Structure 1
Amino acid sequence: MRSIRFATVALATTALTLPLMTGTATAGPAGGEKAAPHSHAAPDRLRSAAPEGFVVGTAVAGGGHHLEQDYPDPFTYDREYRKILGRQFSSVSPENQMKWDYIHPERDRYDFAQADAIVEFAKRNKQVVRGHTLLWHSQNPAWLEEGDFSKEELRTILREHVTTVVGRYAGKIQQWDVANEIFDDQGDLRTRDNIWIRELGPGIVADVFRWVHEIDPKAKLFFNDYNVESVNAKSDAYYALIQDLLAQGVPVHGFSVQGHLSTRYGFPDDLEDNLRRFDALGLETAVTELDVRMDVPEGGAPTKAQERQQADYYRRTLEACLAVEGCDSFTIWGFTDKYSWVPVFFEGEGFANVMTDDFDRKPAFYALRDTLREAARKDDCKKSHKHRKG
């Protein structure tokens, strides 16, 4: 979602002392249910319903606006939340816990505790991890945004941050949102509010991709943004930039659409076509932050019609991704309204996730499950036909 020097870095790398609650009686040593391999024996689990090789993910709630809420850290303390997180999903994305203001709160200090806990949880539950994010205009710490740094110092700070964070999780991160939201809706680079582009020039974007690739050659490196679901000025800007970077040999591997949708607006009918044109460049594509918010009166609840429309948006987004061969990663931005970012940032809108505050499943959940199940069935039929033909 939208936002050192080595000799003196004081890393917060102590063994995790967070009271991670166990998820079930069959949980691993620090919580979370042990994940089953790909199987259709558990059809009510999104990860099990999915076709082989297709990962279904969610953001892991924590940091950011959650720090201002009247509940304890969800990932650390909510047992039911952690159980569902491990059971339903094959991919996890730290919602805020790897962003600059959280993981690098002071120039010479990092706080890796929450990010480490998420990566370890993913390992126990046989999940992959999407790293989020390295170069962004938002959620930067005050020491960085308000500091009086020369261009050389800023470049050093950025490279050392990338080296430290990516290096710590090398081999443990499947995909990185390397550059997040670098264009505005008109397709212009954020030269005012992005400190890195403003101070170091547009070329810094290519440099960061190169740095990350040097540190972790196996990780897939993505551009990530919102309002790029359709073919429009913003997605056109990415299309042109990526072609230029690929021509220069810059290691760009993917383009992802966030998918923060609202029933106030029509569905982006050209989503599949848009993903296909990036796929044609040889890129992987992904949906990384899907939620579908609705207008609901304060204290009210969605109508059945609203829930059906929301489910339709979830289903159509997933279908678009499944239809594109290189789109193998599909992430919803949280799964329960209990910890949703939407009401905090969108006045009058909410109920954007696939489960209620009490973890009851909405029509949107079943829309995803059934769509995944049907895609897996078709995939199995194709493999069976190919086997018989061979």
Structure 2
Amino acid sequence: MERHRLRNIRQFRAFTATAVLTLVASVLIPATAADASVLSLRQKAAEAGILIGSGAVNPAYLDDPKFAQILPQQFNSLSPENELKWSFVQPEQGVFDFTKLDRLVDFAEDHDMAVKGHGLISGCCNPAWLEQIVDPNQLRAAMTTHFTTVMSRYAGKMDRWDVATEVFSTFGGTGLAPNYFYRVLGPDYLAEVFRIAHAADPDAKLFINESLVEYYPAKRQELYDLVSDLVSRGVPIHGVGLETHLTLSPPDAGVITEIVNSYKALGLEVAITEMDVHLNPDANHDTTQAQIYWNVVSEALAAGIRDISFWGFTDKYSYTWIPGARPLMFDANYNPKPAFFATWAALALHTCVSRRGGSAGDVAHALVTTGAVGTGDAPKLRNMLTSAANDLGTGNAKSAVTRVQWNQIRQR
């Protein structure tokens, strides 16, 4: 996702005008700074073999000691914000700048984190020299040089790549967006892009990354038709990334499961790549946000998604199209919000259900111990989690996500 694009602002204003908030709100005692230091998303993810990541990591954020502390404490994967995009890496033809990317990779290696390569090509961030190329063969040569130089440098260090991002129109239904690569190479340009990327690093997993498919059925079908065609022709693609930038409400229950199953049938993985939740800043903001994080992460894990990344983790470094929204799991002062504890609970419950140890009661107890939930609400939370675990155990994720209602739990 490229920040500050007027297209996205218009897109989500339009969506905001039509979306309906389906979650029921109730009175909430404002959350205090509950202690997240003893709860780690990373630890729970590791127990279940899950990649849990923070995207949108600008290397400059590492100068912030608190950011640099929490990032590896809570996540086992990271990905850059814009630093891998063409105009940042090769601003002039033949002149590559890896300074910022190297800093991210070195940080990840020091903290035993995976790194995802985000943004080999996209509709934005192309340098002027590149877009002056109008001959298809010259563009293929430029892509080959760029991909080979970048991917070979990070081979074995960046294990998966968002090769192409946001290739369709905003709401779908109009086919591939006529971006620069489309205009020069034609409507089958993605097949060429993936083949060049595969040749540059045959061991890397290659993903196509798209927005809003969890909301819009027409766009969802367009993406599936494109990917299934690539697979049928033997184009080296390994997975689909769902950006999952959510506004006001979650996707309909069951949609993520349907998406995952459709791509599993093609032999592909599905990842959540840029999740955040943008809500109007009313009194119920934090509780509603926690519910959405719970719903999406719980269903994603139950559906078999093993790679979940958020578009950052602290509101200190966030961008939103809704004035006053606070889309991430930690506030601007690095205090964990209810969304953090809901996400941790989803991971913890998943480890219980997958027989890796623990119980729903243990999950509830941990949340009470850390001060995330009041002691008096422990039995209610335990019962909710137990019911959700039973549903998950029988494969009924659609029911499970409704079992836990964060607006019925009095949070500190």
Could you state the TM-score of these two structures normalised by the residue count of structure 1? 0.78
Report the counterpart of residue 45 of structure 1 in structure 2.
40
Report the counterpart of residue 331 of structure 1 in structure 2.
309
Task: Give the structure with the higher percent helix.
Answer: 2
Q: Which amino acid aligns with 1:156?
A: A
For the residue of structure 2 that corresponds to 1:373, the secondary structure is helix
Q: Which runs of 5+ in 2 are unaligned?
A: 4-36, 359-412
Tell whether 2:371 aligns with 1:368: no
- CA gap 1:117/1:319 in 2 versus in 1, 3 angstroms: same
Report the counterpart of residue 34 of structure 1 in structure 2.
none
Deviation at 1:231, TM superposition (A): 6.1
Tell whether 2:259 aligns with 1:274: yes
For the residue of structure 1 that corresponds to 2:355, the secondary structure is helix
For the residue of structure 2 that corresponds to 1:364, the secondary structure is helix
Return the alpha-carbon distance in structure 1 between the equivalents of residues 263 and 357 of structure 2. 25
Deviation at 1:370, TM superposition (A): 1.0
- CA gap 1:222/1:113 in 2 versus in 1, 3 angstroms: same
For the residue of structure 2 that corresponds to 1:59, the secondary structure is strand
Moved over 6 A (4+): none
Return the alpha-carbon distance in structure 2 between the equivalents of residues 52 and 293 of structure 1. 28
Equivalent of residue 96 in structure 2, options 86, 110, 128: 110
| Cα pair 1:43 1:373 within 8 Å, conserved | no
Could you state the TM-score of these two structures normalised by the residue count of structure 2? 0.74
Report the counterpart of residue 292 of structure 2 in structure 1.
313
Tell whether 2:333 aligns with 1:358: yes
Q: Which amino acid aligns with 1:268?
A: D
Tell whether 2:323 aligns with 1:348: yes
Deviation at 1:266, TM superposition (A): 5.1
Pairwise CA RMSD: 2.0
Return the alpha-carbon distance in structure 2 between the equivalents of residues 52 and 113 of structure 1. 34
Deviation at 1:148, TM superposition (A): 5.0
Report the counterpart of residue 11 of structure 1 in structure 2.
none
| Cα pair 1:171 1:216 within 8 Å, conserved | no
Output aligned runs, 1:213-292, within 5 Å: 213-230=198-215, 232-263=217-248, 265=249, 267-269=251-253, 270-292=255-277
| Cα pair 1:57 1:330 within 8 Å, conserved | yes
Q: Which stretch of the first structure deviates more once superposed, 183-192 or 346-355?
A: 183-192
Higher relative contact order (CA 8 A, sep 6+): 2
- CA gap 1:329/1:319 in 2 versus in 1, 3 angstroms: same
Output aligned runs, 1:166-177, within 5 Å: 166-177=151-162
Return the alpha-carbon distance in structure 2 between the equivalents of residues 223 and 268 of structure 1. 23
Q: Which runs of 5+ in 1 are unaligned?
A: 4-41, 64-72, 297-301, 384-390
Deviation at 1:108, TM superposition (A): 2.2
**Percent of aligned positions with the same letter in both sequences?**
36
- CA gap 1:95/1:198 in 2 versus in 1, 3 angstroms: same
Report the counterpart of residue 61 of structure 1 in structure 2.
57
For the residue of structure 2 that corresponds to 1:235, the secondary structure is helix
